[in-house]
């Protein structure tokens, strides 16, 4: 383990919910829950205001609504979250070539490898500057942990939340860890935590006192050795810039079990096309197609088919998924379907295309999802307006959907740079109301006379979008029927 706290861990604060609050002035300082809004939806992220009521990630959405009935419940906008994540990751890569993303809102950075930091003081300055840059570019806040190892840097960032910076000086790690609960250590979940508690071990210090042999007896060889090393603050894992993608997959959970075999087949084909779009967007291809089916009784079946070489052909993947579906009994109903591709490579094998019927299928990126069977088509008037998504009205301008149902849609007209906006309600088929792209969270800087190059959000003002929130009476967003988190 190194002798200077030059490993940085960044964790954006309540990322999805913070993006929604920054883009919607009426929700700043309010309880916001982002996730699938259908009966089987779960919470993806919630704001700190919602956590006061006991809401947390991965909680069933129905339970969240009971705990915080007046919160705003919104459908995720993943494309927007990805674009903001890319801005943050660019800032991290400016610090070092060794950046290890863990998710859209979390990453490790080796500051020493980039020559950005070499001791505690330079590391603290780099972390403080990063937090300022993130706020300037995105209008959001992130928490930073600095330590001599990845494990300790992640623990430090948790201690820094929200919107803080914690540095663990080398030599103080053991003293800091000892009073912490065993759940602080990576890999100690509820089951392991309960097992240790029954053995009288509740803190990290007690793990160290128990000794390695006792931990091996309680937890097994691999877990026991690893846990003892972590309790002694030992972690030699390097920051790895490239994390190999092992598979690409998509899945949908349905609000009502699907019994119609034809409908199940249509859904599998649609998922296969979505999977191929993600595969191609990543510049990858794969050898194995995997079908996942969760039936009405929660039993989950997986089937797979492996080709002679990698492919990204939508026809090949669709037909393989359909063949796999033929071997699954869906008589009792299906609540979840998924299609994935594994055995990934960055090239394709052309002779595989002969496995698809006829010529190479059309590019899926330009094609809409297949039309559902006639009996499943929604009525023409039932346009979908996901709660929280952006819209534009020809008269009132830019806004976002507070909710829809019973043939009407409620919209609040405001932008990230305005005050709290007015609410208006329209028929769901109002021709003047259309979906819109999200606006940048930070207002672009007007181009100065004589300046060259486009002005953009990355040249934005120092004032964060969420730091001067204008709040007012807003109420909660109404749930949009039938929305699920994919």
Residues in the chain: 486
Q: Which residues contact 279 (CB under 8 A, 6 or more apart)?
A: 248, 285, 286, 312, 341
The sign of the CA dihedral 304, 305, 309, 311 is negative
DSSP 25: G
Q: Do 103 and 242 form a contact (C-beta atoms < 8 A)?
A: no
The yes-or-no answer on residue 106 being catalytic is: yes
Among 20, 100, 106, 414, the active-site one is: 106
- The Cα–Cα gap between 220 and 232 comes to 18
- 162 prior amide bond cis, ω within 30: yes
**344 neighbors 286 (Cβ within 8 angstroms):** yes
Q: Give strand pairing partners of 311.
A: 286
CA angle, 421 then 422 then 425, to 5°? 135
Relative orientation angle of helices 190-198 and 212-219, to the nearest 10 degrees: 120
**Distance (Å, rounded) from C-alpha 204 to C-alpha 100?**
27
Q: For residue 364, report the phi and psi dihedrals to the nearest 5 degrees.
A: -70, -20
- Give me the phi and psi of 268, to 5 degrees please: -65, -40
Residue 321 and residue 311 in contact, taking contact as beta carbons nearer than 8 Å: no
User: Do 478 and 404 touch, CB atoms closer than 8 A?
Assistant: yes
CA distances from 307 to 247, 281, 312 (A): 15, 21, 12
Cα–Cα distance for residue pair 241/110, rounded to 1 Å = 9
What amino acid positions are annotated as catalytic residues?
106
């Amino acid at each position: 383990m190194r002798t200077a706290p030059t490993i940085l861990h960044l964790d954006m604060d309540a990322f999805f919910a913070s993006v929604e609050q920054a883009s919607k002035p009426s929700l700043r300082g309010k309880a916001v829950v982002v996730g699938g809004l259908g009966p089987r939806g779960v919470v993806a992220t919630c704001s700190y205001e919602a956590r006061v009521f006991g809401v947390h990630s991965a909680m069933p959405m129905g339970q969240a609504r009971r705990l915080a009935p007046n919160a705003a419940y919104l459908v995720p906008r993943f494309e927007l979250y990805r674009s903001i994540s890319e801005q943050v990751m660019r800032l991290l890569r400016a610090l070092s070539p060794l950046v290890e993303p863990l998710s859209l809102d979390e990453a490790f950075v080796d500051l020493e490898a980039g020559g950005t930091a070499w001791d505690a003081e330079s590391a603290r300055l780099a972390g403080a500057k990063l937090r300022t840059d993130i706020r300037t570019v995105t209008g959001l806040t992130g928490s930073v942990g600095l330590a001599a190892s990845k494990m300790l840097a992640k623990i430090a960032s948790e201690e820094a939340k929200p919107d803080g910076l914690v540095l663990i000086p080398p030599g103080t790690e053991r003293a800091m860890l000892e009073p912490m609960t065993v759940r602080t250590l990576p890999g100690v979940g509820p089951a392991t935590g309960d097992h240790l508690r029954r053995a009288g071990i509740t803190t990290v210090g007690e793990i160290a006192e128990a000794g390695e042999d006792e931990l091996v007896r309680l937890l097994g060889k691999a877990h026991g050795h690893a846990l003892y090393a972590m309790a002694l603050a030992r972690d030699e894992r390097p920051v790895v810039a490239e994390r190999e993608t092992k598979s690409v997959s998509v899945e949908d959970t349905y609000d009502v079990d699907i019994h119609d075999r034809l409908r199940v087949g249509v859904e599998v084909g649609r998922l296969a096309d979505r999977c191929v779009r993600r595969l191609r967007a990543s510049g990858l291809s794969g050898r194995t197609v995997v079908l996942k089916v969760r039936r009405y009784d929660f039993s989950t079946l997986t089937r797979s088919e492996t080709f002679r070489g990698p492919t990204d052909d939508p026809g090949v993947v669709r037909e393989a998924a359909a063949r796999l579906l033929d071997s699954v009994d869906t008589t009792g109903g299906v609540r979840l379907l998924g299609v994935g591709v594994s055995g990934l490579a960055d090239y394709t094998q052309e002779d595989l295309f002969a496995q698809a019927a006829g010529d190479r299928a059309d590019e899926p990126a330009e094609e809409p999802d297949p039309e559902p069977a006639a009996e499943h088509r929604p009525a023409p008037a039932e346009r979908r307006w996901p709660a929280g998504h952006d819209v534009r009205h020809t008269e009132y301008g830019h806004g976002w959907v507070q909710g829809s149902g019973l043939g009407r849609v409620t919209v609040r007209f405001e932008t990230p740079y305005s005050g709290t906006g007015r609410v208006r309600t329209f028929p769901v088929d109002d021709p003047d109301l259309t979906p819109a792209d999200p606006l940048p969270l930070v207002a672009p800087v007007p181009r100065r006379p004589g300046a060259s190059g486009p002005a953009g959000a990355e040249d934005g003002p120092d004032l964060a979008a969420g730091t001067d929130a204008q709040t007012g009476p807003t109420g909660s967003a109404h749930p949009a029927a039938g929305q699920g988190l994919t």
